[in-house]
Amino acid sequence: TNHDSRPRRILRLPLRYRDELPQAPLPVAQDQPNSHPTRVILHVFDSIRTCFNTFGIARQYRHRPSYDPDAIVSADELSNIRPAESHISDTGIQDGEALLGSPSRREPPWPWKNMSIWRLMSWMVTGSDRKSVMEVERLVNDVMKADDFTLDDFEHFNPNTQMKHFDTSE
Hey, where are the domains in the chain? 109-169
Which residues, in sequence order, are CB contacts of 86 under 8 Å at separation 6+? 94, 96
pLDDT of the residue at 3: 59
Beta-bridged to residue 60, according to DSSP, are 49
pLDDT of the residue at 114: 92
Which residues, in sequence order, are CB contacts of 50 under 8 Å at separation 6+? 58, 59, 60
Distance CA 53, CA 75 (A): 15
Which residues of the chain have a pLDDT value below 70? Answer: 1-4, 31-34, 82-104
pLDDT of the residue at 56: 81
Global model pTM greater than 0.75? no
pLDDT of the residue at 99: 45
